[in-house]
Amino acid sequence: MGTTASQLRKDLLSEYQELTFLTKQEIILAHKRFSELLSKEDRNLPTPRVPMEKVLSLPELKSNPFRKRICHVFSTSDMKDGSLTFEDFLDLLSAFSDSATLEIKSHYAFRIFDFDDDGTLDGGDLEKLVNCLTGETDDTRLTTEEMRQLISNILEESDIDKDGTVNLSEFQHVISRSPDFVSSFKIVL
Amino acid sequence: MANSVDFNLSPIMELELESLREDDTAQDSMCQLIRVTGTGLESGSPETLEMEVLTTEGRDRMASQMSDVRERADERRLQRSEESMQTDLLVRNRWSAATLRVLSSMPSRSVGQQSRLEIISQCNIRSTQLRRYHRQNQDVSLSSRPRIRGYGIEADSEDVCEEETKRQELVINLQSLSAGDRVRMMRATPLSLAEKTKLRKLAFSDKVGQSLLSSQVPCCSLLKRALYHVLFGCLFILSSLQLWQVALKRLGGRFGTGVLSYFLFLRTLLLFNVFLFLINSLFLVLPQAIHPPLHTPSSHRVTGLELFTGTGYLSNSLMFYGYYTNSTINTSCRPDEATAGTGCGTTSDPHMMAYNIPLAYFFTIGITFFITGIVLVYSMSKSFGRSFRVFKSQGNLAIKVFSSWDFKVSKKMSVRLQSENITTQLKELLSEVNGGEEEKGRLSGMALHLLAWSISLGSTFFCALGIHCFAKHMHLRRLEDAEGEVSLVHEARLLALPGVVSCGNLLLPGLFNLVSWMENYNSPIVRLYVSIFRNLLLKVSILGVLCYHWLGKIAAEPEQHGLQCWESFVGQELYRFLLMDFIFTVLYTVFGEYIWKLFSQGVLRRRRKPVFDIARNVLELIYGQTLTWLGVLFTPLLPAVQIIKLLLLFYMKKSSLLVNCQASRKLWRASQMSTLFISLLCFPSFLGTSVSVIYTMWTIKPSSGCGPFRNLPFMFHSGKQWAQELKSTNPKLAWLNWVHSCLVENPLFLFLMAGVFLMVIYVNTQVLDGQRKIISLLQEQMENEGKDKKFLITRLQAIHEERQRPLSPSSRPQPQGSEV
């Protein structure tokens, strides 16, 4: 499952084409960009891993407030350090591609927004999410009162079984009502 | 049957209560359980119970009824204390390990964790559904992302065994699916790529190294494979032809989805025009170009102005209607034998191909309009379906929070802007949801709105009136000029009317902006819709006046206006309008946007650059396209002009955007807006033009001196004549004529079609209504399930706590006398 120094094997290419939503050109481009991120000695390893800092230096992810969560969600590393292999990278691009289904996108969006990885979006997750959306600077953040109101409104609207958290099905139900989600949940290299 | 249920329950309950009254706390809790459950079941219909009681046994039941009332009061008290205990238990959150284990393996929570279990089970279910088997699969496990379990409970060993068995099941299921389904299934599973390759190897170990898409299938689908290859080749070509892909990505990254929708709309219009141009040139322009008609060469001075006015040597060219002959071209004919009115050679010779120009003209225009109409309606319905929500919820806060972040945006500045945008929107929505709008000075608000509307409507009316009078004046001047020498000034005067109209189109929207700024709408969406409506009204009224002028006055009495060939004249007018519109847009972009930016940054010292006005620009595009569609009948090559104009417009707007403007701070609902644009393109624009084209073809007499329809009473008579000819020459095709007369000339058919459409619409709305009702019922049911869940958790915890508590005097049963 590794890649040779500069070229992607043909059988791997066709396999990736089948298993992801990416086209051939996109996979080749992804391979090129991934190889640029690798350091020289890593290139000869069978399954090289790129540390999270290098991944975050990609221009498409550099300014994204969810970049760290994206790396953590797609990483298969045992040490949970957010490092990505080439296949993880392809998974990332596939989920964010044009032709990915709403189901896949909403699944991964849920995992990205689940900051504490407990399987549901509770009040803490929602607060962190809103803070990511509104930005780093202080003048754009919501006040505590507004935050509390916002979270209670969100839970009122989306928590159907009233258990105080938003689980995956409820999240997908909310997303299915939004026509803009599919077009905004996209990253193209 | 609810009554009978209740009736059965109450005697049971009474017995239970009687027997359990002396029990200890453990059984007391059971008693409470039954009571509360009973209350829950009965809560909907205590009245029915009473009714049942009264109607059946009368006096005997009166006594029990009294005890029922007392019981209910007791139950209510118990329920209240029960509820408070429940919330108490939930809030306190000192759950035992057993409770936690149960909680963490609840299906709703493990779905969110997406342990391999749930993913593969869903995958299994879907694949078995595909095979039409009904096997229920339990939780399975295959690794996906880091194994996440709440509260740190470790996996059991039996889970691993389950994993293996379920993996085998999935492998078997996958092997039995077809290739396409397999690919789709694999792609749509949210597992990691490593896992998917493992699965693939297991399932297709005999086919390692081969692509699933080209797997061996028996002989007759060699054709299928070839078809696949051709299809993929075509798709590849189409995708590489994606015009301006890189530029659009850059624009989207910097300015967001709103501005991107304008450019995507531009690209759609370009494709429409390319289609029009190709069909026209293939069937109309090329044949006529190959066999040019005879005409007396007129001496025209070649000045550069012809390009703008469309007169001079251009008026006798392929551009305009007047050039086309009404002859039938036969391929064996020499061009100089073609005479007006008769075909050359004999048409009965089967080896000669006869190409009837008037017929071709009529049918080409008709068919292009028909196909354009169908494509428009189809894309409009698709776009509408995407943006319509079946169940309109109260607020949009959750949707806004979950789906408003545009991941495409990559520049730091734009990301910051987006954050600001979202903050403003969230704050606005919050204040809307909580406070509602203040009713400050309703009367003065109404008066202001009235004033604003009267200003805008009045200015539109006066603009239209002014154009009407100016057009009449210009015609009189032209008549005077035509009597004298043809000079440059006279030619230039032809450009006056288009210039005035474009000026009006440019200035009045600015006035509308000012007026709406004065009105100070609370909601930006209402403001946007109002401004679009006013602009639309302006353009519709201008075009209406012009159409009345051309089709109503000029076409009806061409001699009065000194024209031999009124169709060419109308075509030239439209050509001039299109060009002037483009020139004014260029001027506005250069002077308006660039100089305004310098002004606002230099003089007004604003930090922000001006914002790209999407609505106004899109309406300009729609106006240009309307002119093109109006003109296609009279100027077959007008789509080519529009194509060139759109191409230039794209690059100009793009560079102007990058230099002058910045991303908007306003709310932009991209998908609803693109639905709006397509429907504006379809309804006022395309419908209006097709109505005017049909009106021209059916009711206006074509000029007798020029064009393919000379000497015919109406344009559509060419089709009629051909049908009659066909009937006489080829009686086998007579049924076509019959079909034609049945469908087109008989109004009953149209009524029938309209009736069918209305019925379909009615059925669909009823289905929609029913679905809404079902959705609300299901939501209620889900809420009740949630309440049940809460209740069971608290009972579990309470029982556990009871067990933990050492036996103490407080747990002894209370003396019975105080209860009744």
pLDDT, averaged in runs of 10, over chain A (189 residues):
60 88 90 87 81 90 90 88 90 91 92 90 91 80 87 88 86 85 86
Q: How confident is the model at residue B559 (pLDDT cuts 50, 70, 90)?
A: confident
Would you say residue B60 has pLDDT above 80?
Answer: no
Label residue B766 by pLDDT band (50, 70, 90).
very high
Distance (Å) from the alpha carbon of B370 to chain A's nearest alpha carbon: 30
Query: Which residues of chain A neighbour B420 with C-beta distances below 8 Å?
Result: 135, 140
Q: What confidence tens digit (pLDDT) does each residue in B176-216 have?
A: 777 777 778 888 888 888 888 888 887 766 554 444 444 44
Query: How many CA atoms lie less than 13 Å away from B671 in the CB half-sphere?
Result: 19
Chain B hits for A62, CB-CB cut-off 8 Å, are: 410, 412
Which residues lie closer than 8 Å to B542 by C-beta, 6 or more apart? B463, B464, B467, B501, B504, B505
Phi, psi of B709 (to 5 degrees): -110, 20
Is the minimum CB–CB distance between A45 and chain B shorter than 8 Å?
no
- A90: nearest CA partner in chain B: B193
Mutation site for B-interface testing, chosen from A138, A159, A160 by largest number of B Cβ within 10 Å:
A160
pLDDT of residue B128: 66
- Could you tell me the pLDDT band of residue B19, with boundaries at 50, 70 and 90? very low
Q: Is B44 helix (H, G, I), strand (E, B) or coil?
A: coil
Residue A162's pLDDT is: 80
Residues of A in contact with B87 (CB under 8 A): none
Enclosing H/E stretch for B753? helix B747-804
pLDDT beyond 50 at B136: no
Which residue from B114, B209, B404 is facing A11, i.e. has the nearest CB?
A: B209
The stretch B287-311 carries a mean pLDDT of 67
Q: Which of B214, B399, B414 to mutate to test the interface with A (most CBs of A within 10 A)?
A: B399
On whether the CB atoms of residues B121 and B146 are closer than 8 A, the answer is no
Does residue B145 have a pLDDT over 60?
A: no
How high is the pLDDT of residue B352? 53
As a whole number, the mean pLDDT across chain B is 71
More confident residue, B249 or B757: B757
pLDDT of B539 reads 92
Tokens 């440019």 belong to: B506
Cβ of B148 within 8 Å of Cβ of A119? The answer is yes
Q: How confident is the model at residue B774 (pLDDT cuts 50, 70, 90)?
A: very high
pLDDT of residue B818: 43
Chain A CB contacts of B790 under 8 Å are 162-163
A34 to chain B, any CB pair closer than 8 A? The answer is no
In chain A, which residue's Cα lies nearest the Cα of B211? A14
What ipTM is given for this predicted complex?
0.90
Tell me, what's the pLDDT at B59?
47
Q: Does residue B431 carry a pLDDT above 90?
A: no
Q: Which stretch of A43-47, B253-257, B570-574, B683-687 has the lowest confidence by average pLDDT?
A: B253-257
Residue of A nearest to B419 (CA): A134
Give the per-residue pLDDT at B462.
92
Cβ within 8 Å, pair A19-B211: no
**Closest-CA residue of chain A to B411:** A63
Judge contact between B579 and B724, C-beta under 8 A. no
Give the model's pLDDT for residue B273.
92
Which of B115, B145, B242, B776 best tests the A interface by mutation, with the highest count of A CBs <10 A?
A: B145
The residues pairing with B611 across neighbouring beta strands, listed in sequence order, are B662
- For B433, name the nearest residue in chain A, comparing CA atoms only: A153
CB-CB under 8 Å, A16 with B402: no
The pLDDT of residue B280 is above 70: yes
Q: For residues B433 and A154, is the Cβ–Cβ distance under 8 A? A: no
Distance from CA of A40 to the nearest CA of B (A): 24
CB contact under 8 A, B430 and A66: no
Cβ within 8 Å of B, A 102-131? 103-104, 107-111, 113-114, 117-120, 126, 129-130
- What pLDDT band is residue B305 in, cutting at 50, 70 and 90? low
B145–A63 CB contact, under 8 Å: no
Q: With bands split at pLDDT 50, 70 and 90, how would you rate the model's confidence at B163?
A: low
Task: Give the 3-state secondary structure of residue B328.
Answer: strand
**DSSP labels for B542-599?**
HHHHHHIIIIIIITT-TTTTT-S-HHHHHHHHHHHHHHHHHHHHHHIIIIIIIIHHHH
| Residue B6: per-residue pLDDT | 37
Residues of chain B found within 8 Å of residue A171, distances taken between Cβ atoms: 402
Q: Which residue of A has its CA nearest to B415?
A: A63
Candidates B145, B386, B402; nearest CB to A175: B402
Q: Return phi, psi of residue B704, to 5°.
A: -90, -5
Q: Give the closest-approach CA distance of B238 to chain A in angstroms.
A: 14
pLDDT at B748: 81
Mean pLDDT of B386-390: 60
Contact A134 B426 (CB under 8 A): yes
Nearest to A185 among B394, B407, B419 (CB): B407
Average pLDDT over residues B123-129: 67
* pLDDT of res. B108: 59
Cross-chain residue pair B200–A101, CB shorter than 8 Å? no
Specify the range with the lowest mean pLDDT, choosing from A36-50, B151-165, B403-417.
B151-165
Task: For residue B102, give how far its alpha carbon lies from the nearest alpha carbon of chain A (Å).
Answer: 15
Do the Cβ atoms of B192 and A87 come within 8 Å?
Answer: yes
Asked whether B416 and B390 are in contact (CB, 8 A), the reply is no
* Residue at token pair 């087109």: B744
- So what's the pLDDT on residue B763? 95
Size of interface A-B (CB pairs under 8 A): 215
Domains of chain A plus CATH, in order, are 11-96 (1.10.238.10), 102-185 (1.10.238.10)
**% of chain A exceeding 90 in pLDDT:** 28
pLDDT band at B44 (very low <50, low <70, confident <90, very high): very low
Tell me the nearest-neighbour CA distance from A163 into chain B, angstroms: 7
pTM of the model: 0.66
Segments making up each domain of chain B, as ranges = 258-297+367-431+444-707, 746-793
List the alpha helices (DSSP H) in B139-221: 157-175, 179-188, 193-203
- Asked if A161 lies within 8 A of B785 by C-beta distance, the reply is yes
B576, B494 Cβ separation under 8 angstroms: yes
Average pLDDT over residues B773-783: 89
- Among the residue ranges B238-242, B594-598, B714-718, the one predicted with the least confidence is B238-242
A90 to chain B, any CB pair closer than 8 A? The answer is yes
pLDDT reading at B9 higher than 80: no
Query: Chain B residues with CB inside 8 Å of A76's CB?
Result: 145-146, 192, 194
DSSP A54-88: HHTTSHHHHT-TTHHHHHHHH---TT-S--EEHHH
Q: Does A47 touch chain B (CB under 8 A)?
A: no
A residues 134-173 closer than 8 Å to B (CB): 134-135, 140-142, 146, 149-150, 153-154, 157-158, 160-163, 167-169, 171
Select from A129, A132, A153, A175 the residue whose CB has the most chain B CBs within 10 Å, as the one to mutate to test that interface: A153
Q: Which of residues B570 and B343 earns the better pLDDT score?
A: B570
Where is pLDDT greater, at B74 or B339? B74
Nearest CA in chain A to B150: A118
The answer to whether the CB of B613 falls within 8 A of the CB of B255 is no
Do A11 and B395 make contact, defined as CB atoms within 8 angstroms? no
**Is residue B338's pLDDT more than 90?**
no
So what's the pLDDT on residue B217?
47
What is the number of alpha carbons within 13 Å of residue B184 lying toward its C-beta?
Answer: 10
CA distance, residue A107 to nearest chain B CA (Å): 7
Give pLDDT, residue B758.
93
Asked if residue B345 has pLDDT above 60, the reply is no
At B140, the pLDDT band (50, 70, 90 cuts) reads very low
Residue A93 has a pLDDT of 93
Question: CB–CB of B401 and A154 under 8 A?
Answer: yes
pLDDT-based confidence at B155, cuts 50/70/90?
Answer: very low
Band of pLDDT at residue B235, cut at 50, 70 and 90: low
Using the beta-carbon criterion (under 8 Å), do A19 and B187 form an inter-chain contact?
Answer: yes
